[in-house]
Structure 1
């Protein structure tokens, strides 16, 4: 399988650089880790990567950003990439934003800052395995459907 993509978006550059380094250390052999400093920049990045034919497996967003909030951004991402893993980071835990992201953005995890690196990377590893299993299952279902159609044609 080609390298998957992990996209991180946060308006705090120091947070972006930290999480990018942590994720590259953990997933660098299997994933490209890209960063964006705004939701709008991240949406453009999602479009660019998707148009290049690569798979975006994980999107991590801060909740509190100027312009589009993380929950709104993840809702937009969910419309484009409904099966991708979506994680919200926040330094300001708020139940309303978590509920919105879960209900409308297909949120996989809600993580408070500062995060525990081992816990976060462990969660991401588990979610990526689940994502890839789902992709493989879908591929097998499609292949099985194709073979069933071939057999039905032969039996006519």
Structure 2
């Protein structure tokens, strides 16, 4: 299977580097990990990956960043890629921000800084499996719908010959 992408967005470079190192330890065989230092840069990265046919499976973002905040970013990601796993990793988000991310951004996981990758990697792994199952289900459904259309056309053709 082709590698999926995990996108990490935080305005603190040290946080990004630590997160990348930890994610690659657990998910490096199945995922590429890309970094962005702002919400705007993250959105541009996601759009670039999508335009090249890549699969953005996980987006992990901080809440408090200059410009686009984490909950706003997740809302935009949710509009573009509703199935993508969205994780808010933050030390400063308030309850309202978390609720907004859940309600409007389709938040899958809320993690407070400092995080423990040993604990959250199981949740992320479970979410990735669910994501991949959903993608496969959608693929199979599209194949089934195409086959139904083919059969309907064949039935119409047979009926028109009678």
TM-score interval, normalised by the smaller of the two chains: over 0.9
The higher radius of gyration belongs to 2
Please list, as runs of the form range in 1=range in 2, the aligned pairs for 1:4-153 lying within 5 A after superposition: 4-153=4-153
Alignment deviations for residues 26-48 of structure 1 (CA, whole Å, 9 cap, x no partner): 11111000001111111110111
Provide the rounded CA distance (Å) in 1 between the counterparts of 2:113 and 2:71.
Answer: 16
Q: CA deviation at 1:152?
A: 1.6
Provide the rounded CA distance (Å) in 1 between the counterparts of 2:58 and 2:74.
Answer: 11
Structure 1: 4+ residue segments shifted above 6 A: none
TM-score normalised according to structure 1 size: 0.96
- Could you list the runs of 5+ residues in structure 1 that have no partner in the other structure? none
Contact 2:49–2:56 (8 Å) recurs in 1: yes
- Could you list the runs of 5+ residues in structure 2 that have no partner in the other structure? 157-162
Q: CA deviation at 1:93?
A: 4.3
Provide the rounded CA distance (Å) in 1 between the counterparts of 2:129 and 2:33.
Answer: 17
* Residue-pair matches, total: 156
CA RMSD of aligned residues (A): 1.0
Q: Secondary structure at the match of 1:5?
A: strand
Q: CA deviation at 1:94?
A: 1.4
